Structure 1
Amino acid sequence: MTVSTESASTPSPSRSHAGAGRAGRRPHLRPAWRSPLLLAAEAGVAFAAALVLPYLARSFKLDPLNRLAQVSGLAAIQLRFAVIGLVLVAAAVVAMRLRGGRHFGLVTRFASAAIAGLASGFVAAGAVVALLGTPWPMFGLNGDSGRIVEWSQAVAHGLPSPSPVYPPAPLYTLGYYAQWFHDGNTAYAFKDLQILGAAAFGPLVYLAWRMLLSPIRALAFGVLPAFALIDAYKPYSQTVLVLLVPVLVAMVIQLRRSGTDGWRLLLLKGAGFGALLGLLFLTYSGWFLWSAAGVLVAALVYFPWRADRLRGLAFVAVTAGVFAAVAGRYLVTLLTEGQTTKDVSFRFDNFTDPAYFLMWRTDMPGKVTEWPLPGEFGGMGLFAVVMFVCLGVALWLGLRKPMVVTIICMFASAWVMRMYIASHMYETQTVQLYTRTNNQLLYCGLILCALVAHLLSLRLAERRGGAADGTDGTKTLGGGFPNPQGAVVGALFALLFLFGTVSSSMADRYMPAKENTYRILPWVSHTVQKLDGKCPKFAPGGVCTKEGDQAWVAMIQ
């Protein structure tokens, strides 16, 4: 189900076939059956790399509640991350020099996949350090963690979900995982899935963007922006968001190209998109609400109205039909019972400027005085100004490209839905999770900022006569640049340390501390009495209770 963005943006089928012919002449893609195998190998490398750092962190000897130990733990993870990453960069340098760089594309493909896995593995390793000595998940049996543990316990025993509107996939996954590996103990199993879910974040996002971009571009322009949202507490919700964007973009691109595929391939792709979207919807449905209007507009814009209308309709019908078969029952539940579900919990962000979305402070914002922080330009900081400028530049350079237009539409859709719900807050006295649109707006904005560099490099490549499709692993930042392979090595080196810094920051936000931030979540985990009646190894003062430290209740704002 791989779709090349640049060839997909070309309206003429003949030009698309010509591009396919050029791609077919690339040595590393022949014979044709090797491409799926290489993609599978990429996936294997990414997921294997994601598990390395969490596995190594299990042997750390430190007290996770001691700040000095936490810093040492983060540095130990960073050291291993950097050493492994530098080996990958060195392998790319060696491949560039050996045999005329014949295997350079293959090596950089696997290096990009490995770095994506290592980066999310870093965050997962931080979660391992934060939960050393306790079998409980973050937050123990409190808050969302406690409800998920309780609900998954029910569905695992064949009972109906206590919350029919909550996405069923996480509950069933946790329930069955607990039966297989923890004798049905969903609480202890949730700790595993928090760590594994954070580790899988990078590989999943990387593979989703590989439907659209070459390896190094997928890493830089798709995976990197997603790390502003990586979450070790409930990893599945943010993972669905960062996967949904490239999947919907790829679907719109395929809709536009409906006439270039044979009927069998077209229907198979429609079924694939329907099944994938259905699975994502069952895992977390909120992002579909914020994105729906924008994707509908993009689909109408790129529907093949003049020619191949029948194929376009067939693709849409098969996609919708398979989606309904996978997630239709849950969708009906949301449309009926979900109408009576009201969110009346007003938190910190519900009392701040609704136009500010660049950082979500969570339900426990920590020490905050004035928020949003005053900016230099009309209250906005430089980061906001640069992002909005990049939105305009991306649309300017990519106005004919469905990838850019679809993401712009998703951004606008989330913005309108956010303001609609917020504008009715006073009247309805409900929140309806509108502040969660922060994440979609930020992610779409960051992607578009990154795509400015992508589009500029393609324009430069076209003018200098280099490869302009962005799909050749040997020319990923490249054709048209002096020493394009050197540009790829430089990008890998820079991305390695940028990922290392971002991942360390995101891991640090979950280091246990008794304070009004998300650090309270793992702190509570160390204060909950184990099932055998004993306290976790590092319980503060050796004291624990059945519910754990409840100081967090007074911290919710």
Structure 2
Amino acid sequence: MPGPDKNRSVHGRGRSGRLRLLGSPPALLAMEAAVAFAAALVLPYLAHRFKLNPLDRIAQVSGLAAIQFRFALLGLLCIAAVLLAARFRHGRHFDLVTRFAAAAVVGLASGFVAAGAVVALLGTPWPMFGLNGDSGRIVEWAHAVANGQPSGSPVYPPGPLYTLGYYAEWFRGGNTAYAFKDLQILGAAAFGPLTYLAWRMLLSPVRALAFGVAPAFTLIDAYKPYSQTVLAVLIPTLVAMVVALRRSGNQRWPLLLAVGGGFGVLLGLMFLTYSGWFLWSAAGVLLAALLYFPWRTGRLKGLGHLAAALAGFLVVAGGYLHVMLVEGQNTKDTNFRFDNYTDPAYYLMWRTDMPGKNVGDWPPLGEYGGVGLFAVVTFVCLGLVLWLGFRRPLPVTIVAMFVSAWLMRMYIASHMYSTQTVQLYTRTNNQLLYCGMVVCALTVHLVTKRLAERHAAAPADTDPAALFGRVGRTGAVTGALVGLLLLLGTVSSSMADRYMPAQDGTYRVLPWVSHTVRKLDGSCPKFAPNHTCSAEGDQSWLSYIR
């Protein structure tokens, strides 16, 4: 009998090896990331081809509707792919397609907000706010650091400045102003995928989308997207680090040190990008670390994990940390804003330092002792999530960071009169709201897991199909994706509308100013009001600052 075909055998083993490699968790996660980032660029690209006047309100509404239509259509195609995967080959590829569909929905959602920024800035090369305010300072400082000079503020996070400076050198001929417009759009688009990937360290795809990304969309911002992105990514990263610390007592040393060092490097990069959230979160994370430190099973390994994380952090951000500890002591924020004159216990909405012309009573009067039902639900869920997940590091760490930010907020505000400084304490609004939304989502997460565990046939861990017990995997995933698609589409439209150009005393004035700044060639932007512009642009925004 003839012997085996050695060439075919070797070729078969090679093909099988490649398939196993593509099916490995790191490869699948990399493909998820690629799908999410690619999907985030689709809507901004399509919006770039719109033909409309962004200063006309009817055009703005039409632009938002056009983005919404494309978002819904592409999202429904993703859901259709999930349904087809459930029917063909006995659902063999259902989990894989679900994974990619969730990533695509995330990318499309943040791409929606980025597409709104594209529409708002059609016809002008300038970023939001032109060369005024924070935008102008960032553009100036980035140009300085790109040319080897110190920035105007040693305590300002260097990450955005160097990123903008080098991006401008590579793609915009050194023009940091025009480059900042690109990064505002790209930063908004990247918000969803980065947040999703951070929550994927803790949750399965659909649960990461529902219980992590959806709450984070209260933060998405196209003006300075990096600060809010750091918060959205930092919260799950710190939780994942606490989870890894809890498990470190049973880990092998090489893996333990690699994981700890990786967390340290990641935290260092975020610290270089925006450091404020670290201050608000520090006490809560310290408490969680003490609670879940492996005191009995491996104290030495726990210390090794923390030492590796600290070493990774210091290698990346040690220099900037030293600057913050030295120079930061002398940095005082004496700019009192609208929110500094309101009830410090109210955090559910932030009206910014340009609250608009018709604010009315603020905070709005709620139904329960002046407190709205949303706040009541949040605090009820905070109690429930501790009850249902008291031994789990995910809910406990989130609650600890909420309490930490709350205490820091009240501490700084209580000294506001004596020091006449505000130290950006109202920025804790964002962390409190985000953590509160996550707490509400985690309550649903824990309840559904408890229900699933009561059914012998239900998956035991974090399978997204366990959402509704025995109703069925296809129905559970499809229902979740449809609901989340509509929710994220509506939220993204609202957040995109927030920056449609207008002179109404709100942040809409930022892109309005961009259309009134004279271009570098001396001409006006295409849609400049009355075809007039100036070197600094419309300065009426100064009357809106309170």
Shift of 1:470: 4.3
Shift of 1:101: 1.2
User: Is 1:48 aligned to residue 38 of structure 2?
Assistant: yes
Whether contact under 8 Å (1:390, 1:448) holds in the other structure is yes
User: Is 1:91 aligned to residue 114 of structure 2?
Assistant: no
Q: Where do residues 161-172 of structure 1 align in structure 2 (5 Å cutoff)?
A: 161-172=151-162
Instruction: Give the structure 2 partner of residue 224 of structure 1.
Output: 214
User: Is 1:156 aligned to residue 146 of structure 2?
Assistant: yes
Question: In 2 relative to 1, CA 240–384 (structure 1 residues): closer, same or farther, beyond 3 Å?
Answer: same
Instruction: Give the structure 1 partner of residue 503 of structure 2.
Output: 514
Q: Where do residues 173-212 of structure 1 align in structure 2 (5 Å cutoff)?
A: 173-212=163-202
Whether contact under 8 Å (1:81, 1:118) holds in the other structure is yes
Q: Which residue type is aligned with residue 195 of structure 2?
A: V
Distance in 2, matches of 1:379 and 1:466, equals 46
Whether contact under 8 Å (2:366, 2:373) holds in the other structure is yes
Counterpart among 232, 239, 247 of residue 229 in structure 2: 239
Q: Deviations over 1:343-369 (max 9, x none)?
A: 000010000000000001111011211
Q: Which residue type is aligned with residue 373 of structure 1?
A: P
Distance in 1, matches of 2:545 and 2:370, equals 27
Counterpart among 354, 359, 366 of residue 368 in structure 1: 359
Whether contact under 8 Å (1:344, 1:432) holds in the other structure is yes
Counterpart among 526, 529, 535 of residue 540 in structure 1: 529
Question: In 2 relative to 1, CA 492–269 (structure 1 residues): closer, same or farther, beyond 3 Å?
Answer: same
Report the TM-score when normalising by structure 1.
0.93
Distance in 1, matches of 2:210 and 2:288, equals 24
Counterpart among 122, 138, 141 of residue 131 in structure 2: 141
User: Is 1:251 aligned to residue 246 of structure 2?
Assistant: no
User: Is 1:379 aligned to residue 370 of structure 2?
Assistant: yes
Distance in 1, matches of 2:116 and 2:87, equals 36
Instruction: Give the structure 2 partner of residue 455 of structure 1.
Output: 446
Instruction: Give the structure 2 partner of residue 132 of structure 1.
Output: 122
Distance in 2, matches of 1:86 and 1:264, equals 44
Distance in 1, matches of 2:129 and 2:470, equals 50
Shift of 1:476: 5.3
Q: Deviations over 1:461-497 (max 9, x none)?
A: 1111244554336x2525x332132111111011111
Shift of 1:534: 0.3
Instruction: Give the structure 2 partner of residue 303 of structure 1.
Output: 293
Whether contact under 8 Å (2:284, 2:404) holds in the other structure is yes
Q: Where do residues 271-290 of structure 1 align in structure 2 (5 Å cutoff)?
A: 271-290=261-280
Whether contact under 8 Å (2:230, 2:274) holds in the other structure is yes
Q: Which has the higher contact order (CA 8 A, sep 6+)?
A: 1
SS in 2 for 1:464: coil
Percent identical among aligned pairs is 72
Q: Which residue type is aligned with residue 254 of structure 2?
A: R
Instruction: Give the structure 2 partner of residue 5 of structure 1.
Output: none
Distance in 2, matches of 1:305 and 1:325, equals 27
Whether contact under 8 Å (1:133, 1:537) holds in the other structure is yes
Report the TM-score when normalising by structure 2.
0.95
Shift of 1:307: 1.8
Instruction: Give the structure 2 partner of residue 556 of structure 1.
Output: 545
Whether contact under 8 Å (1:214, 1:476) holds in the other structure is no
Q: Which residue type is aligned with residue 394 of structure 1?
A: V
Gaps of 5+ in 1: 1-28
Whether contact under 8 Å (2:75, 2:105) holds in the other structure is yes
Shift of 1:331: 0.5
Question: In 2 relative to 1, CA 358–516 (structure 1 residues): closer, same or farther, beyond 3 Å?
Answer: same
Instruction: Give the structure 2 partner of residue 58 of structure 1.
Output: 48
Distance in 2, matches of 1:30 and 1:460, equals 34
Whether contact under 8 Å (1:216, 1:476) holds in the other structure is no
Shift of 1:30: 6.7
Instruction: Give the structure 1 partner of residue 256 of structure 2.
Output: 266
Two-structure CA RMSD over aligned residues (Å): 1.2
Distance in 2, matches of 1:400 and 1:413, equals 19
Gaps of 5+ in 2: 1-18
Q: How many residue pairs end up in the alignment?
A: 527
SS in 2 for 1:132: coil
Question: In 2 relative to 1, CA 30–450 (structure 1 residues): closer, same or farther, beyond 3 Å?
Answer: farther
Deviating above 3 A after TM superposition, structure 1's stretches of 4 or more consecutive aligned residues are 29-33, 466-473
Shift of 1:262: 1.1
Distance in 2, matches of 1:216 and 1:466, equals 20
Question: In 2 relative to 1, CA 452–481 (structure 1 residues): closer, same or farther, beyond 3 Å?
Answer: farther
Q: Deviations over 1:145-201 (max 9, x none)?
A: 000000000000001122110000000000000000111000000000000000000
Distance in 1, matches of 2:20 and 2:521, equals 59
SS in 2 for 1:257: helix
Q: Deviations over 1:207-245 (max 9, x none)?
A: 000000000000000000000010000000000000000
Distance in 2, matches of 1:149 and 1:37, equals 38
Instruction: Give the structure 2 partner of residue 419 of structure 1.
Output: 410
User: Is 1:314 aligned to residue 304 of structure 2?
Assistant: yes
Q: Deviations over 1:82-122 (max 9, x none)?
A: 11001111111111111221111011100000000000000
SS in 2 for 1:481: helix
SS in 1 for 2:467: coil
Counterpart among 468, 478, 485 of residue 496 in structure 1: 485
Distance in 2, matches of 1:222 and 1:279, equals 21
Distance in 2, matches of 1:328 and 1:172, equals 17
